[in-house]
Amino acid sequence: MSAPAAQRVAVIGGGPGGLYAAALLKQRASDREITLWERNAPDDTFGFGVVFSDETLDGMESADPAVFAALRREFVRWNDIDIVRRGTVLRSGGHGFAALGRHRLLEILHERCRALGVDLRFRTEAPPAAELARSYDLVVAADGVHSRTRDVHRDHFRPTLTTHRCRYIWLSVERPLDAFRFEIAETEHGIVQLHAYPYSAGASTVVVEMREEVWRRAGLDRCDEAGTLKRCGACFAELLDGRPLRSNRSAWTAFRTVVNERWWHGNTVLLGDAAHTAHFSIGSGTKLAVEDAVALAAELDRQPDVAAALAAYEAGRRPVVESTQRAARASLEWFEDLPVHIGGPPRRFAFDLLTRSRRVTHDNLRLRDPGFVAAVEREAGVPAGTPPMFTPFRLRGLTLRNRVVVSPMDMYSAVDGTPGDFHLVHLGARALGGAGLVMTEMVCVSAEGRITPGCAGLYEPAHEEAWSRITAFVHDRAPGTAIGVQLGHSGRKGSTRLMWEGIDRPLPDGNWPVVAASAIPYRAGVNQTPHALTVPEMAVIREQFATAARAAARAGFDLLELHCAHGYLLSGFLSPLTNHRTDAYGGSLDARLRYPLEVFDAVRAAWPAERPMTVRISATDWAEGGTTADDAVVIARAFAERGADAVDVSTGQVVPDERPAFGRSYQTPFADRIRHQAGVPVIAVGAISSWDDVNSLILAGRADLCALARPHLYDPHWTLHAAAEQGYEGAGAVWPVPYRAGSRRPPAGRGAP
pLDDT (0 to 100) of residue 180: 95
The set of catalytic residues is: 568
- What is each CA distance from 500 to 111, 412, 496, in whole angstroms? 61, 9, 11
pLDDT (0 to 100) of residue 209: 97
pLDDT (0 to 100) of residue 364: 94
Q: Which H, E and C letters describe 412-465, residue by residue?
A: CCCECCECCHHHHHHHHHHHHCCCCEEEEEEEECCHHHCCCCCCCECCCHHHHH
Is pLDDT above 80 for 72?
Answer: yes
Q: Which of 1-5, 95-99, 286-290 has the lowest mean pLDDT?
A: 1-5
Provide the 10 A C-beta neighbour count for residue 258.
23
Q: Which residue would you say has higher pLDDT here, 117 or 343?
A: 117
Cα–Cα dist 431/47, whole Å: 56
Domains of the chain: 8-337 (3.50.50.60), 346-732 (3.20.20.70)
Contact 66, 155 (CB under 8 A): no
3-class secondary structure, 119: strand
Among left, alpha and beta (phi > 0; psi -120 to 50; other), residue 190 is left
**Which H/E stretch holds residue 599?**
helix 589-606
pLDDT-based confidence at 169, cuts 50/70/90?
very high
pLDDT-based confidence at 343, cuts 50/70/90?
confident
pLDDT-based confidence at 753, cuts 50/70/90?
very low
pLDDT-based confidence at 129, cuts 50/70/90?
very high
pLDDT (0 to 100) of residue 3: 63
pLDDT (0 to 100) of residue 283: 75
- Residues pairing with 708 in the sheet: 406
Q: What is the DSSP letter of 385?
A: T
Q: What is the DSSP letter of 409?
A: -
Is pLDDT above 60 for 692?
Answer: yes
Q: What is the DSSP letter of 744?
A: S
Alpha-carbon 612 to chain mean position: 29
Helices in 278-369 by DSSP H: which ranges? 285-302, 306-336, 338-341, 346-354, 362-368
What proportion of the chain, given as a percentage, has pLDDT over 70? 99
Contact 388, 403 (CB under 8 A): yes
Q: What is the pLDDT of residues 700-724, one digit of tens each?
A: 999 999 999 999 999 999 999 999 9
**Which H/E stretch holds residue 151?**
helix 148-152
pLDDT (0 to 100) of residue 56: 83
Q: What is the pLDDT of residues 275-298, one digit of tens each?
A: 999 999 987 789 999 999 999 999
Q: What is the pLDDT of residues 506-541, one digit of tens each?
A: 999 889 999 999 999 999 999 999 999 999 999 999
The mean per-residue pLDDT over the stretch 44-73 comes to 86
Which residues have C-beta within 8 Å of that of residue 271, sequence separation ≥ 6?
Answer: 17, 18, 21, 140, 141, 142, 289, 292, 293, 296
pLDDT (0 to 100) of residue 48: 87
Longest Cα separation, the chain: 86
**Which H/E stretch holds residue 195?**
strand 190-198
| Residue 25: Cβ-neighbour burial (10 angstroms; 0-12, 13-18, 19+) | buried
Q: What is the pLDDT of residues 317-340, one digit of tens each?
A: 999 999 999 999 999 999 999 998
Cα–Cα dist 71/66, whole Å: 9
Q: What is the pLDDT of residues 415-459, one digit of tens each?
A: 999 999 999 999 999 999 999 999 999 999 999 999 999 999 999
- In this prediction the pTM is 0.92
Residue type, 463: H
Cα–Cα dist 408/399, whole Å: 20
The mean per-residue pLDDT over the stretch 12-23 comes to 96
Provide the 10 A C-beta neighbour count for residue 113.
24
Mean pLDDT rounded to a whole number for the chain: 94
Which residues have C-beta within 8 Å of that of residue 662, sequence separation ≥ 6?
Answer: 687
Cα–Cα dist 742/753, whole Å: 16
pLDDT-based confidence at 752, cuts 50/70/90?
very low
Q: Which of 53-67, 400-414, 603-617 has the lowest mean pLDDT?
A: 53-67
The mean per-residue pLDDT over the stretch 585-596 comes to 98
pLDDT (0 to 100) of residue 1: 44
β-pair type (159-173, 204-211): antiparallel
Is pLDDT above 50 for 104?
Answer: yes
What proportion of the chain, given as a percentage, has pLDDT over 90? 89
Contact 612, 606 (CB under 8 A): no
Q: Look at residues 197, 134, 186, 612 and name the one whose alpha carbon lies nearest to residue 399.
A: 612
Is pLDDT above 80 for 80?
Answer: yes
pLDDT-based confidence at 750, cuts 50/70/90?
low
pLDDT-based confidence at 2, cuts 50/70/90?
low
- Length in residues, the chain: 753
**DSSP conformation letters of 658-722:** ------TTTTHHHHHHHHHHT---EEEESS--SHHHHHHHHHHTS-SEEEESHHHHH-TTHHHHH
Is pLDDT above 50 for 78?
Answer: yes
Is pLDDT above 70 for 749?
Answer: no
